[in-house]
Amino acid sequence: MYFVRSRGSQYNYNKKEQVLYKTGKNIIESNKSGYLYSDRYGDGIEIYNYPIPYFWGSCDIDPSSEYTRIVLKLKYKDENTLEVILSDEYNIYDPNFIKKIIKLNINFKIRESYIYMASCRGYIDVLNILKKYFRDDQFTERFLTEHLDFLSETGDIQMLNWWKDSGLKLNYSSNAMINASTYKHINVLNWWLNSGLPLKYTVNNWMRQYASVLDAIDMASLNGHIDVLDWWLQSGLQLEYSDLALSLASCSGHIDVLKWWKNSGLKLKFSNESNIKSYGHIPQSIKLSYYGWPLDMASANGRIDILDWWINSELNIQYSSNALDCAAQNGHIHVLEWWEHSGLELIFSGYAFSRASSNRHINVLNWLKNCKTLNKSILNDRSMNIDRISDSDLNYGPPLDVASSEGYVDVLDWWLKSGFDLGSKYSENAINWASKKGHINVLEWWKNSGLELKYDTIALYHASSEGHVDVLEWWKNSGLKLKYCDMAMKKASVNGHINVLNWWLKSGLKLKYSNDSIDGASQNGNIDVLNWWLNSGLELIYSRRSLVLENDDTAVLDWWVNSGLPLKYCEEALLNAFKHTHINVLEWWKKSGLPLKYYKNTMSNYGNEYYKKSLEWWTNSGLH
């Protein structure tokens, strides 16, 4: 016996095109269902109908749709057409349906996911019926752990009781009580405390650092749950919390939580080394950077009320340059002014200027320049004079570099008029990144700025790599010395930028290229680029690695055979296809009639599961 989803699934790919089954006769044609095939093995037939609902055997009920029909009869009218007679519709979570399946004496299999859905939806009657069919090894430890942790998150006491009384071996983690604390389920915390089960709520350092797990009390502090904090304090349990609790409360603006901690009698922990960004449970809105101290966190998030609380708290005040640097990054002038009048020492680094520049906060730049208590020696801070930095770290590069990369001419103007010595406030990256991003207005600014122009071959390399013909044209007409190498045409070839290749060909400049251009285009399967090179009239330079392909598409191999060019290839062509399970490429080589080059002994050494399909091909190829 077989079943079929009758209303589709929450995972349907295209509901508009979905064909819905009906009671009685259904004719399924491959041109309507999109994809229809049968896989016959033993006495059974597996039939998949994709993307519309599919059939599954009597051993396996699919839980992803609530409704099903029983397949009463099915037969193939031809290889592309199937005739199916279906029963009335049933809800798979209806106890009567489960009883019917049992009465029909069907040898069915219970999926973990079915039990998960039934439990999440509170279908205790269904679970009670099926419990007698559970095997000792029915559920994996991971399933039970994740499910009981989830029930604690949702606050479902009824289902927690069912699992506790089920007689099954239970598995759960510290996340159960952490989740209850996070979502303010005090009833769940009481349930665990009174359950008689071993309590798990301790988070070790590995879990904090690598699994992004925070302690229950940390999460309550982050979310402002005073009643949860009271519960833990009064629970009689040994309290576990990290040095993040006060920082998280400060970051989130929970003054009442800070007051709770001050009056709790608990040891107050502080941290200046906590990478908040790495913690998965913390909302993205407060994952701003590398802060740590509570005042750093409050400043980064613009919370003057929290700063006021701390300065009046009579507690130990600790902070770092991140407080003002991050306030500058986020444009919080009011925070900067608070610090100026706080009576506390102002601690900046050169990153304050860079971060303000990268975010176009000219008002912050003005404030920093005019702040009388700011030590201007930070302009000579090493962070302002970095020669090289990746464009993924724009907040930490020299300020003119980051402004150029972002295309902020107004920020560049500010720096030019600032009166500061700019010689060390930018590097080759300023012009190189402007070329990469296509900012011709920035390139013009630099040309007319009167400043020393720093750039290298990377400028035209970036423009070619990104397909910026207008930038290349600007450089050609700029009157500046052109610096370029063979990498420019290589990247244009690899990335498929024929417009860039045409520009270079017609530019009148001396062309610089190597075998990497054609090799790279071939390896990436860029046939249009190969045709460009073939028809360019240029000397064609390529190596034996030109046929070491990055994908399983044989079209480029056919191109080479039909090109009339001498074929160059090496053992790596087959070995690379073997290692990446490119069966189509392997078959092409086998049938090509070309002399094959391969490492006979090497291929036999790839014996793990990852290479299973390639090893099967190798075994049946007759090549070894």
Cα distance between residue 542 and residue 174, in whole Å? 59
Lowest mean pLDDT among 104-118, 366-380, 384-398, 473-487: 384-398
Residue 52 has pLDDT above 50, yes or no: no
Give the mean pLDDT of the chain: 83
- Other beta carbons within 10 angstroms of residue 387's beta carbon come to 12
Cα distance between residue 62 and residue 322, in whole Å? 52
**Domain coordinates in residue numbering, the chain:** 2-134, 546-624
Cα distance between residue 92 and residue 6, in whole Å? 11
Residue 31 has pLDDT above 70, yes or no: no
Tokens of 98: 């489960």
* Closest by Cα among 406, 395, 216 to 288: 395
Q: What is the pLDDT of residues 556-582, one digit of tens each?
A: 999 999 999 999 999 999 999 999 999
CB-based contacts of 567, cutoff 8 Å, min separation 6: 547, 560, 561, 594
Cα distance between residue 475 and residue 454, in whole Å? 14
CB-based contacts of 351, cutoff 8 Å, min separation 6: 321, 325, 329, 381, 383, 395, 396
Helices (H), 286-428: 294-300, 304-312, 322-329, 333-340, 351-358, 362-370, 399-406, 409-417
Q: How far is CA 260 from the centre of its chain?
A: 37
Q: CA distances (Å), 358 to each of 334, 365, 396, in order?
A: 19, 11, 9
- Other beta carbons within 10 angstroms of residue 497's beta carbon come to 22
The answer to whether 73 and 79 have CB atoms below 8 angstroms apart is: no
Tokens of 45: 């037939």
Tokens of 512: 């610089």
The most distant pair of C-alpha atoms in the chain lies apart, rounded to whole Å, by 90
Return left, alpha or beta for 603; rule: phi > 0 is left, psi -120 to 50 is alpha, else beta: alpha
Q: Once rounded to an integer, what is the mean pLDDT over residues 591-604?
A: 83
The per-residue pLDDT for 404 is 97
Q: Once rounded to an integer, what is the mean pLDDT over residues 65-74?
A: 75
Cα distance between residue 91 and residue 98, in whole Å? 9
Cα distance between residue 558 and residue 45, in whole Å? 38
For residue 392, what is the DSSP state? T
* Closest by Cα among 84, 88, 100 to 29: 84
Cα distance between residue 465 and residue 490, in whole Å? 8
Q: Once rounded to an integer, what is the mean pLDDT over residues 526-554?
A: 97
Residue 278 has pLDDT above 50, yes or no: no
Q: Once rounded to an integer, what is the mean pLDDT over residues 23-33?
A: 68
Return left, alpha or beta for 581; rule: phi > 0 is left, psi -120 to 50 is alpha, else beta: left
* Closest by Cα among 142, 221, 131 to 184: 221
The answer to whether 40 and 74 have CB atoms below 8 angstroms apart is: no
Higher pLDDT, 12 or 87: 87
Q: What is the pLDDT of residues 250-259, one digit of tens each?
A: 988 999 999 9
Cα distance between residue 500 and residue 493, in whole Å? 9
The answer to whether 439 and 401 have CB atoms below 8 angstroms apart is: no
Q: Once rounded to an integer, what is the mean pLDDT over residues 13-25?
A: 59
Cα distance between residue 29 and residue 26, in whole Å? 10
Question: 409-417 and 440-449 are packed helices; what angle lies between their axes, rounded to 10 degrees?
Answer: 20
Cα distance between residue 108 and residue 127, in whole Å? 15
Q: Give 11's pLDDT tier (boundaries 50, 70, 90).
A: very low
Cα distance between residue 490 and residue 515, in whole Å? 9
Q: CA distances (Å), 56 to each of 44, 49, 210, in order?
A: 11, 10, 40
* Closest by Cα among 394, 391, 390, 380 to 423: 380
For residue 394, what is the DSSP state? G
Residue 53 has pLDDT above 90, yes or no: no
Helix (H) or strand (E) holding 91: strand 81-91
**Whole-number CA gyration radius for the chain:** 33
Helix (H, G, I), strand (E, B) or coil at 113: helix
* Closest by Cα among 585, 565, 567 to 576: 585
The answer to whether 437 and 402 have CB atoms below 8 angstroms apart is: no
For the CA atoms of 284, 288, 294, 300, what is the dihedral angle to 10 degrees? -120
Q: CA distances (Å), 523 to each of 163, 461, 494, 502, 583, in order?
A: 56, 20, 8, 21, 16
Cα distance between residue 270 and residue 245, in whole Å? 8
Q: Give 109's pLDDT tier (boundaries 50, 70, 90).
A: low
The answer to whether 614 and 579 have CB atoms below 8 angstroms apart is: yes
Tokens of 605: 């050494």
Tokens of 79: 């290889």
Q: Give 618's pLDDT tier (boundaries 50, 70, 90).
A: confident
The answer to whether 497 and 528 have CB atoms below 8 angstroms apart is: no
- Other beta carbons within 10 angstroms of residue 398's beta carbon come to 25
For residue 490, what is the DSSP state? H
- Other beta carbons within 10 angstroms of residue 380's beta carbon come to 11
What percentage of the chain reaches a pLDDT higher than 90? 53
* Closest by Cα among 8, 31, 145 to 82: 31
The per-residue pLDDT for 136 is 64
Q: What is the pLDDT of residues 287-336, one digit of tens each?
A: 443 346 889 989 999 999 999 999 999 888 889 888 999 999 999 999 99
Q: Once rounded to an integer, what is the mean pLDDT over residues 9-34?
A: 55
Instruction: Report the sign of the C-alpha dihedral through residues 309, 314, 316, 322, in that order.
Output: positive
551 burial (CB, 10 Å; 0-12 / 13-18 / 19+) is middle
For residue 255, what is the DSSP state? H
